[in-house]
Chains A and B, each alone.
Chain A
Amino acid sequence: MKPPAFAYRAPESLQEALSLLADHGDEAKVLAGGQSLIPLLSLRLARPTVLVDLARIPGMASISESDGWLVMGSMVREGHAERAPLVGRLAPLLSAALPFIGHPAIRSRGTVGGSLAHADPAAELPAVALATDAQLVATSAARGKRTLPAADFFRGFFETALETDEILTEIRLPPLSEGTGVCFQEVARRHGDFAMVGLAASVRLANGTIADAHLALTGVAPQPIRASEAELALIGASPTKAVFEEAGQLATRGLTPPSDLHGSSGYRTVVAQVLVRRALRVAALKAGADYEELDSGRGDLR
């Protein structure tokens, strides 16, 4: 369980890091928090020739607000984001998802950008980025900056739109509209494990009906996915148990989640349906839906 030998640089400027990537292409790998990459090295599932450590580049771990957007450098540690009041205020869905990532000792090293760029199909943050319509800024030496909507960023199993000479440098989350409630839910075999199924949800209510709904599922496909059909069906509907039940069915239509020893495809499908129903209910209540109207108050929810 020892990593293979690799060359290592910890540049003190972004330019230097980008030029290392430009020189070495797919032989190089970016090291952010290392909480996924280092086990991959130890298990020798990854064998990069050059490791480019971003931790010593100043300014890449800042959290700020710009016109109501939450702007984070990609090297913000997950534990730092979890405790940052600004994140809680501007991006409650991100705040809700962060405690589900691994364990405290993982979050104190793991980074927001690292999790997004790694794009594990069962990870929490890609679903949050997708559900919030986050913008991801990729920077390269040759082409400068480009901004990608999260919807274009996740391309497949551990695959993103990042080119081999690019670094994910910034994550921007748009402001929440008035009357929006959010909820993150997941089911895992053990606390801290990757989710079998996870869901990032937000619901906006206007005059008692659903004006907008975002649902992003993780663990059910090679990459996180938006349940667009369910989202469309929710718009204009009343926030009721029957509507949320229906949304769960729509969210999994056409999906074939993976099967493994932790759960079959059919099981994951049912879990996804249940999570959609639960998360929509919690989000709707947070958005101000009437508890009595929504259901009798009994049921399977906290």
Chain B
Amino acid sequence: MSLSAKGLSTDEIFQVELTVNGERREGAVEARKTLADFLREDLALTGTHLGCEHGVCGACTVLVDGEPARSCLMLAVQARGSAVLTIEGLAQKGELSSLQQSMWDNHSFQCGFCTPGFLMQITALLEQSPNPTEGEVREALSGNICRCTGYQSIVKGVMAAIASSNPKDVS
């Protein structure tokens, strides 16, 4: 059956309403527009970086309803009604989150391209499990690719953030 006979069209425009970093945002997109492109092009939130655009590198990771998701593997229309958190939402009132600060202090970045994805992935991990082991951190980060650091400084920054938010018992 032809598309038009069923009221379908490949260039139909869809209204997308969602919450991004706590703010209600909306836009009008073709169905084929990925969430990553919607965030970057329509909402001008260019902190979400696109590395591979097919779900391999993890740079575009954002949180959708609290869970990590690769925004290049999601269509903007799929995110209608969701709450999305991007790298722009981590710092509050100009103050870095404790994870961001710890990664800054530990030189966890070099070129910084992959950093937003790493930060979002670890933010998701720490929300689910606030005191993970280094093994769990490495496991959680295994889907994020960094071509500069060799990962050691990233893991160091994350472990330092975990240590500072889970002070040891001093009894």
Q: Is the CB of B12 closer than 8 A to any CB of chain A?
A: yes
The CA of A270 and the CA of B99, in the complex, are separated in Å by 44
Q: Is the CB of A221 closer than 8 A to any CB of chain B?
A: no
Q: Is the CB of A7 within 8 A of B8?
A: yes
Q: Is the CB of B74 within 8 A of A109?
A: yes
Partner of A55, one of B54, B58, B78, B124: B78
> Who on chain B is nearest to A102 by CB?
B143
> Who on chain A is nearest to B50 by CB?
A1
Question: Which of B62-70, B103-111, B159-167 has 4 or more CB atoms under 8 Å from chain A?
Answer: B62-70
Q: Is the CB of B121 within 8 A of A38?
A: no
Chain B residues positioned under 8 Å from A6 (CB to CB): 10, 31-32
A10-B77 in contact given A23-B6, A106-B70 (Cβ < 8 Å)? yes
Chain A residues positioned under 8 Å from B44 (CB to CB): none
Among A24, A38, A39, chain B packs the most CB atoms within 10 A around the CB of A38
How many residues does chain B have at the interface if contact means C-beta atoms less than 8 Å apart?
Answer: 40
Q: Is the CB of B72 closer than 8 A to any CB of chain A?
A: yes
> Who on chain B is nearest to A40 by CB?
B54
A34-B74 in contact given A5-B32, A51-B31, A79-B67 (Cβ < 8 Å)? yes
Q: Is the CB of A105 closer than 8 A to any CB of chain B?
A: yes
> Who on chain B is nearest to A24 by CB?
B1
> Who on chain A is nearest to B65 by CB?
A108
Q: Is the CB of A169 closer than 8 A to any CB of chain B?
A: no
User: Range of interface residues on chain A?
Assistant: 35 or more
The CA of A217 and the CA of B143, in the complex, are separated in Å by 25
Q: Is the CB of A7 within 8 A of B70?
A: no
Chain B residues positioned under 8 Å from A31 (CB to CB): 78
Chain A residues positioned under 8 Å from B144 (CB to CB): 103
Q: Is the CB of B55 within 8 A of A38?
A: yes
Partner of B143, one of A39, A43, A55, A104: A104
What is the CB-to-nearest-CB distance from A193 to chain B, in angstroms, rounded to a whole number?
10
The CA of A109 and the CA of B75, in the complex, are separated in Å by 12
17 A-B contact pairs sorted by A residue (CB < 8 Å)? A1-B54, A3-B32, A5-B10, A5-B32, A8-B75, A38-B34, A38-B72, A39-B55, A39-B73, A50-B8, A103-B58, A103-B143, A104-B121, A104-B125, A105-B69, A106-B143, A109-B74
* Chain B interface residues (CB < 8 Å from chain A): 1, 3, 6, 8-12, 14, 30-32, 34, 37, 52-55, 58, 61, 64, 67-70, 72-75, 77-78, 80, 121, 124-125, 139-140, 142-144
Closest 4 CB pairs of A and B: A103-B143, A8-B31, A1-B53, A108-B67
